Structure 1
């Protein structure tokens, strides 16, 4: 089994500035003209809460019309569930749009062996960036050791998935990480670097067990299998962006409040899962980013530990958990559930600039006689003007709620906005008015057919 998950490789790309004919000689300043609008702009789908919002279903829907579907960051710690023709698919690394047989999938990640053997995925439809960092077995082992140490030293851990993502990002930041370009080039050189990296972790964690020779033997096999899929990611994306008209879809893993810089630190992931991660992960210039769709669950969930202002550790939370089947795709852990927190979503919009919202799992609220929505925070009876960076503060906030009437009837078979109960329509409009962002889709079930398009 291949546990080598890849991470994004940081790469910036600057558009060329076009000059009119002229010269700098004789004190004359060469006149410049504004570059033409990009031919192809990418459409981005991002989670707006703590993940598990249903991004996979939105990507699957948009991918039906896409030529290229990309994953821009993260690792196999993120899981997406897609239901097509009553068949449920769980993806941890591949883009959810991989089910579109006409689209090419591009990942700035290494690919897992299990997915490469999937008969639904043709190799010619998958490209892997040569700048992708590799997560090794010892990264995952170290992830588990670090969680144990946090528990012993501080009495609580971060709640990671123990997939090695954090330690691999540490290797990347320390500049001793290994990338796909290393793996598929001179293997003798790769072996030397691998032994140094493994030795580094063995020194730091004496109880760590690493079978270096066996690992290298497996990696040599993987190198041959992966080589035909590897491409220069920057040039691949540049060609797609500047060539003939293409529809390019970018799928973010994790979600805004798990972003390493803007999330609820330290209870976050190790990558930039906000809109900026599209540029740093794929080498896409900012001017080529078009529409950014934020996926918002009609309530709020969170896996693991960390502040959760609107959490309902009561019958309401249990109902949302049961009806929504709220278990992590990657870990199987029970998700904590609570009311929709619009303070949190508004903060995510500030960071990402959502063009529109996809509101998912509205049907889970069908049986509730009334529904609450978090609209503001206070701390020590004082209004909090912004979403706090300090998690100690976030743990202490009191939430002010707006109570809206429920609709107490099923919405699962509804396929147009006008057929939704008036109370459900009001709930959607309330969200739009608060965020000042339109809701473009509403999800009332698990399949792509259950996504109601509003415009």
Structure 2
């Protein structure tokens, strides 16, 4: 199977970094295909913990080539800082490739993101304030700055001037902010050119050639299915496509070359930011999940909202992504509960609904319908096979698999690289 997609099947933060890192030693390329430094992955290797924000998790696997695809928006200052931090810890980052067609996050994108979110007040979306949305908006409006523009000062200046013509009007007249100088932006961006030039490549050509030669390429999504700008809980979503289709548009690799799509599922549910969340727990159970699970955003530092597992959104993720497998993470966090509720359907206006409602209004008013499964108290972090799990933990996994519509092929029983039960091989 030369090309695999690995993505979040909930609202992000499902443990994609652990899953990618687990596969990293068996693949030749790991590719980020969308998002920016609003997507954080935590990877634990031995006694070392790495927080990655923009770089693909494969950066930690020797022999693997990490790639930032054209669908990613890149803040060059953040990227260089992340590379420097890894280098200081002895990680070789020299193999990184960056698409010349990836768009840049500029200082004015970050400024606009922050002031516009404050301006919305109670109607705010809950963005990270890192300029991702405005950068994608410029891309769609055809006034974006691409990585390749760093190497042509004339084109770069023309594009910055065109973008700031309108943005300075908005900053000054709508938000009462000082206009941003073109020279200041151009000078800052040109300062990154020499530092990034050695990484930039035609990644679409590189990846297609690699697949044609039988090498294994893993496409890694940021955020999660329910944060997809087209298929998520709009408008409380990210500005790109974390779903499987985004792997094609975000890298230039056609869908016929993708052979496996793996959805990462947390054994319960979390989300960061505003928006509907039917199984959210605002009680002691929610706080317990947050504490035991360490549910704080890798990139944002914000506490995650926590709730019970939602099989409705798991089924939805299976459908819109064409999932072939699930990787269930953080099963160990549920150890100690006597009974564990699982959302199997919603009640909306007195009716039972088993599929995600297409209407935003209906989803906002969805009340979870729960089935309760028996819990377990035994420590499972040392489990190496499915049979090592307590019987009730096995039953929980089997129930989630049946409800979600795709086989659970791996189970995370702890944060470490080796704390994983592999049931079926992805490769």
Pair in the same fold by TM > 0.5: yes
1:221 to partner: Cα distance: 2.0
Q: CA deviation at 1:209?
A: 4.7
Identify which of 246, 255, 259 aligns with 1:290. 259
1:53–1:145 Cα change, 3 Å: same
Q: Which residue of 2 aligns with 1:176?
A: 143
Taking structure 1 as reference, are residues 391 and 208 closer, same or farther at Cα in structure 2, changes over 3 Å only?
farther
TM-score, reference length from structure 1: 0.88
Corresponding residue for 2:48?
87
The structure-2 alpha-carbon separation of the partners of 1:341 and 1:188, relative to structure 1 and needing over 3 Å to count, comes to same
* CA apart distance, 1:98: 0.6
Deviations 1:180-238 (A, max 9, x none): 12112x21221122122123211122115524323322221211221121111221222
- CA 1:318 to 1:199, structure 2 compared with 1: closer, same or farther past 3 Å? same
Instruction: Work out which of the residue numbers 41, 49, 53 in structure 1 matches 2:2.
Output: 41
Contact 2:3 2:218 (C-alpha < 8 Å) held by counterparts: yes
**SS of 2:418's equivalent?**
helix
Q: How does 1:9-28 map to 2 (within 5 A)?
A: none
- Other-structure match for 2:248: 279
Q: Does 1:61 align with 2:28?
A: no
Instruction: Determine whether 1:70 maps to 2:36.
Output: no
1:141–1:208 Cα contact (<8 Å) kept = no
SS at match of 1:125: coil
> In 1, Cα distance between the equivalents of 2:421 and 2:222?
23
1:302 and 2:271 equivalent?
yes
List per-residue Cα deviations over 1:342-386 (Å, max 9, x = no partner): 001100110011111110000110010000100011212112253
CA-CA distance at 1:43 after TM superposition: 1.0
Distance 1:204 1:45 in 2: 39
Aligned to 1:213: 183
SS in 2 for 1:83: strand
The aligned counterpart of 1:367 is 336
Q: Distance in 2 between matches of 1:192 and 1:121?
A: 38
In structure 2, the partner of 1:33 is: none
SS of the residue corresponding to residue 254 of structure 1 reads coil
Q: 1:156 is matched with which residue?
A: 123
The question of whether the paired residues in 2 share the 8 Å contact of 1:55 and 1:80 is answered with yes
Map 1:87-126; keep pairs closer than 5 Å. 87-108=48-69, 109=72, 110=74, 111=76, 112-117=79-84, 118-119=86-87, 120-122=90-92, 124-126=94-96
Hey, what does 1:436 align to over in structure 2? 405
**1:113-150 deviation digits (Å, cap 9, x = unpaired):** 10232314545411110110001111011111111111
The CA deviation at 1:399 is 1.2
Q: Deviations over 1:246-300 (max 9, x none)?
A: 1111111110000000000000000010000011000011100111110000000
**Larger deviation: 260-269 or 427-436?**
427-436
Partner of 2:198: 228
Q: Is the 8 A contact 1:50 1:301 kept in 2?
A: yes
Distance 2:93 2:375 in 1: 48
Q: What SS class does the counterpart of residue 291 from structure 2 fall into?
A: helix
Residue of structure 2 in register with 1:241 after alignment: 211
How far, CA to CA, are the matches of 2:157 and 2:194 in structure 1? Answer: 15
Give distance in 1, aligned partners of 2:396 and 2:335. 12
3-state SS of 1:449 partner: coil
Q: How far, CA to CA, are the matches of 2:383 and 2:354 in structure 1? A: 38
Partner Cα distance (1:123, 1:414) in 2: 33
Work out the CA distance in 2 between the residues paired with 1:396 and 1:431: 24
CA gap 1:358/1:172 in 2 versus in 1, 3 angstroms: same
CA contact (8 A) 2:43 2:51 kept: yes
Number of the residue aligned with 1:257: 226
Instruction: Name the CA shift for 1:83/1:142 in 2 (closer, same or farther; >3 Å).
Output: same
Matched, 1:198 2:164: yes
Stretches of structure 1 lacking an aligned partner (at least 5 in a row): 1-39
Residue 286 to residue 407, structure 1, CA distance change in 2 (3 Å): same
Is this contact kept in 2: 1:362–1:444, CA < 8 A? yes
Report SS of the residue matched to 1:403. Answer: strand
8 A contact 1:42–1:288 mirrored in 2: yes
Select between 56-65 and 101-110 the one with higher mean Cα deviation.
101-110
Distance 1:428 1:193 in 2: 52
Distance 2:94 2:297 in 1: 31
Give CA-to-partner distance per residue, 1:9-62, whole Å, 9 cap, x none: xxxxxxxxxxxxxxxxxxxxxxxxxxxxxxx63111100000000000000000
- What is the rounded CA distance, in whole Å, between the counterparts of 1:98 and 1:421 in structure 2? 35
| 2: CA distance, partners of 1:225 / 1:121 | 18
In structure 2, C-alpha distance between the alignment counterparts of 1:385 and 1:56, rounded to whole Å: 30
